[in-house]
Each structure stands twice: as C-alpha cells, then as structure tokens.
C-alpha cells in the first residue's frame, strides 16, 4: 500500500510537471513578444531583484556595463565550447557584433522576462522538493531517487544555459538547446511520476496483442521530437529573416523560409496521421476509464489545437499568440505521448495455457 510520504512525492512531482509546462509557456511568450533581452543581466534584472518600471530607475551607464559583462561571460562560454570541440561555434560567438548592441529599455518586455524568470525559480524550488521527497523510495525504487537528483542538476544546467541565452543576445542554436533540455526535464519528471504511481499496481492485462502498439507509439514519439527540433529550426530562420528585414513585412516571412518550412509542414502531416493510428489502436484495445484511452483522447484534443495553431501561423502572418500556443501544445503533445508510452509499456497480453 502506498504511504503518505509516497503520495506526497507523487503530488509534488505532478506539480513539478505542471510548472515545467508553465515555464515553457512563459518562455514561448517571451520569445513571441521579443522580450528575451528585457533583462540584460542575469539572475538580477538591471542589477535589481525587483525590475525597474521607468527609465529613471535604471543604473547609470547600464548599457556599457552590461555589454562588457556579456563579452566576459561569452568569452568563458566560447572557451567551454572549445573544450567540447565546438571551435566554429566558439568563434561565431566571439565574432557576433550583435552582442555589443544593448536593448532599449521597455517596461513591458522587462516584466515579461522577469515573470518568466520567477516561474523558472519556482520550478527550481519544486524540483528540489521532488529530489528531497524522492528519498522515501530509497529502498523500494532507487531509480526514482537517482533520476530526481539528476533532474535537479539538469534544471541547474538549464538555468545556467538561460544566462547564456541572455548574454549571447539570443544566439539561435543556444535557444534551441535550451528548448530541448526542457523536454529532457519533462521526460524525467513524467517517468518518475508514473513509476511511483505504478509501483504497487499490477500491470494491465488485455486480450489484444500490444507489441505493435508499443512499437508504433515509440515511432510516433520519435516523430514528434523530430518535429519539435525542426520547429525550433523554423523559428531560428524566422528570427534571422525578421532581423534582416528590420522586423517589417511580417506577412512575407513565411514565403522566405524555403525548404525548412516545407519539411516542417510535411512532417506535421506525418505526425498527425501517426497519432490518429495510435488513437485507433488504443481505442481498439482499451475501454471505459482506462488511463491509456483517456490519455489518447487528450492527445487528440492537443493535436487538433496544434494543427489549428500551425495553420494560423502559416496563413495569418505569424501572430505572436499563435506562436506561444504552438510551442506549448507541441510540448503537451510530447508529454502525453511519452506518458501514454509508459502506460502501454507496462501492459501485457493475456495468454492462454
């Protein structure tokens, strides 16, 4: 029987998953509104714990101070990349003149970025609580303890990378790695949540063969991750085009994307078809209030919203609200698919003797 301390861990772990999604949502709002440089320093904002609300509250010579700070931090980051064998990327950061440009103060962008950081700090606190309460499983399920501690370190690395995102003036590939690490954090949290919940439960046994569903669901999950990666590349191209056009002619940006957009659109069709197949397979094998069926139903809802937001982005000149929805629901899709995979993975087929 599950104990109170174990129930507490499951509850806190679930809150951590929700907070991770909130942070991704906040990050999507930051990026779609161009607020990433709303706070030019990190972890403070204009050297203050509570951001300024007017130009009069800004530190003297803040432009020069923060540019110099970014240059020093970027040099350290460049050396770190060189140790990893990424010499080209290191030189690119060193020679990026945009890093020397400061962002003009905008109170709305500053507070948007600040709230994003607050959500990240809240996530860090709950991630720490998850790691602490994971020790209740130290005898029964050590993997929960190990993974929860690992996730705490991944979040710490993610926070450091967030500071690099700011100091490199939103260098595109760094932003992409930042997004992919968020998926890693989500994946670990979902795994520990599910493992703790299923620890005392017997695997579900059904009449139909389950191996085809397990395999095709894994394939669909890989497709979705590939689509997210490709989506970040599309976003990077959009950023480059927008910057080159001085953020004018928004309705022409999509037409200038080229093959990367076509591939993203075609892969979206493949993702949609594969998810419909998964839904049909789950519906044929589970009924009533079975968790896999409920999860599959939610995937269909998320998929529809995701397709609509993609359509709006493509044909309505990339409205910022649609960008935020698209990022959030892509992450929700990954989360639900991975959770469904974990549920199905424990399912067995009834065998007659």
Domain boundaries, the chain: 1-201, 204-353
Residue 229's closest CA among 156, 322, 306, 330? 330
- Predicted TM-score (pTM) of the model is 0.87
Query: Residue 18: which of 144, 116, 158, 119 has the closest Cα?
Result: 119
What is the residue-wise DSSP string for 279-326? HHHHHHH--TT-HHHHHHHHHHHHHHHHHHHHHHHHHTT--HHHHHHH
38-42, 157-161, 225-229 — which is least confidently predicted?
38-42
**Backbone dihedral angles phi then psi of residue 205, each to the nearest 5 degrees:** -120, 125
Per-residue pLDDT reduced to its tens digit, 196-219:
998 877 766 665 678 888 899 999
Where are the strands (E) in 6-153, listed by range? Answer: none
Contacts 24+ apart (CB under 8 A), 224-227: 224/271, 224/330, 224/333, 224/334, 224/337, 225/183, 225/334, 226/267, 227/264, 227/267, 227/268, 227/271, 227/330
Rounded CA separation 243/324 (Å): 19
Question: What does the pLDDT look like over 81-136, one tens digit per residue?
Answer: 888 887 887 887 777 776 666 667 888 989 998 998 899 889 999 999 999 999 99
CATH fold of the domain at 204-353: 1.20.120
Distance CA 79, CA 86 (A): 9
């Amino acid at each position: 029987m599950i104990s109170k301390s174990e129930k507490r861990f499951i509850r806190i772990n679930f809150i951590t998953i929700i907070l991770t999604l909130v942070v991704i949502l906040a990050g999507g709002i930051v990026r779609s509104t161009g607020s990433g440089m709303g706070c030019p320093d990190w972890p403070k904002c204009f050297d203050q714990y509570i951001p300024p609300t007017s130009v009069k509250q800004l530190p003297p010579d803040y432009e020069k101070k923060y540019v110099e700070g970014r240059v020093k931090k970027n040099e350290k980051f460049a050396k770190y990349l060189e140790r990893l064998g990424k010499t080209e990327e290191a030189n690119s950061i060193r020679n990026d003149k945009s890093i020397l440009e400061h962002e003009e103060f905008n109170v709305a962008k500053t507070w948007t970025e600040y709230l994003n950081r607050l959500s990240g700090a809240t996530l860090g606190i709950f991630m720490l609580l998850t790691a602490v309460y994971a020790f209740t499983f130290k005898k029964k399920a050590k993997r929960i303890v190990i993974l929860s501690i690992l996730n705490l370190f991944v979040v710490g690395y993610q926070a450091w990378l967030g500071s690099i995102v700011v100091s490199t003036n939103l260098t595109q590939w760094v932003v992409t790695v930042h997004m992919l690490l968020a998926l890693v954090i989500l994946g670990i949290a979902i795994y520990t949540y599910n493992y703790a919940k299923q620890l005392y439960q017997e695997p579900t046994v059904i009449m139909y063969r389950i191996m085809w569903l397990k395999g095709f669901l894994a394939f669909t999950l890989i497709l979705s991750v590939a689509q997210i990666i490709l989506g970040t590349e599309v976003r990077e191209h959009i950023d480059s085009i927008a910057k080159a056009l001085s953020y004018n002619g928004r309705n022409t940006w999509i037409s200038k994307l080229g093959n990367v957009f076509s591939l993203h659109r075609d892969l979206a069709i493949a993702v949609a078809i594969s998810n419909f197949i998964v839904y049909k397979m789950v519906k044929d094998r589970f009924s009533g209030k079975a968790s896999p069926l409920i999860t599959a139903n939610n995937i269909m809802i998320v998929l529809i919203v995701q397709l609509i937001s993609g359509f709006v982005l493509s044909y309505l000149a990339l409205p910022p609200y649609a960008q935020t929805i698209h990022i959030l629901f892509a992450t929700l899709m990954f989360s639900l698919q991975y959770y469904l995979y974990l549920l199905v993975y424990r399912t067995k087929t009834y065998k007659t003797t």
